[in-house]
Structure 1
Amino acid sequence: MTETIFWAAVQGIGTVLAAIAAMIALVLAGRQLGELVSSNKLLTASNNAMTESNVALTRPYVVVDLEFLPSVSRSGETLGTSVFVVIKNDGKTAAHNIRMSTDRPFESVSEPNTDGWRKSLEDLNRMANGATILRSLTNTRPLKYYLDGTELFGKADEPGPSWTVSVDYEDGEGRGFHDSFALEVEAWRRSIVIADPLVRIGKYIDSVAHEVKSLTKAVNS
């Protein structure tokens, strides 16, 4: 083998080795790129999850529900129940541009006998007509509308009324949220409504004060 042929063979082998090294480098680079892409995806997913978690912790939560408030006598006995529709924000921040709609208008079972009652129903239905926009609702001042008394539960086993309320609103950053609530009277028909102990104590005190006042009048007369 001549020297020229020898060095040509060596050069050829070197070229092949260089090609193999280049291929290995390409494979390693591809793997590193794939790992980098996967790492970036995991990082993006982690950042998105953290963002969603932060939003969930700080976002507003508008809730529409029924509230049952017992009427208490001076002796502390429950005389009946008042039913309200409550619109509240259970979140940490204010809700904005709240829009509500119902599957049917709110109505009482008994006939409203005062202007305040009638206006409460009118305002409630105006608020839930799908067009009215409530600009802001904080978590400190809920809206409460009187709907009816115990009559709303109906008589015997006739079905109680129900409504489905859809709510759309935004947070301070303009992110939109949608929730739907089923307001059902039937489930609460025979539940026990217990008056707030402080309310009952207040009624007792009022009763005692009334008796003392009557006794004072009787003594002085």
Structure 2
Amino acid sequence: MKIFVAGSTGRVATELVNRLIKQGHDVIGGARHPENNVKSPQVTPVKLDLHASVAELSALIGKVDLIYFTAGSRGKDLLQTDAFGAVKLMQAAEKNGIDRFIMLSSLNSLEPEKWNQPGLTDYNIAKFFADNYLIHQTKLNYTILQPVNLTEEAGTGKVTFGDSAVTTNPIPDVAAVLAELPQYPNTARKVIIMRAGDQPIATALQALA
């Protein structure tokens, strides 16, 4: 497949791109600093500015099979990047006839009554806006992945989807789930809460109702 990764130089996205390469895919890596993309003949780096218009984003993306949105402003540009930047990328996907859109989001983004982490309210609002738009205002075949707290630990290849007392996710496991999602049609049009766990990723994905 040919895949566009928005925010391709972030921590999760770098792991994701490496996994997509190993799967044999060609990746267009969109980032503010495209020179920081994974170096590979299978990766085409492009400068992604989420302040750009839908028409400009559409031209940049071209015709691909799948878009991942892993971009984030780290709290510096929540409206233009995390919220409306994501929406414009969705609009560009539909404009280009791209059906599959995978969103890396945050825990409980769609449930404001569960927001209880000080300092993250504005970020959660941005994700709430973007995720709701994806679900209700597009016809895209979406998956929204909501991991709990990301950690720099080594991946285990095992996860739990849904409720659990576990509050962490090793970054490599989040990337692994993202990379595997397109292989499972049952993950389309779903919001998936992800935590570290004891179930192999493939088994957990197959079991999603």
What TM-score bracket applies, with the shorter chain setting the length? under 0.3
**Could you say which structure has the higher helix fraction?**
1
TM-score, structure 2 as length reference: 0.23
**Could you say which structure has the higher strand fraction?**
1
Q: Which has the larger radius of gyration?
A: 1
Q: Which has the higher contact order (CA 8 A, sep 6+)?
A: 1
TM-score, structure 1 as length reference: 0.22
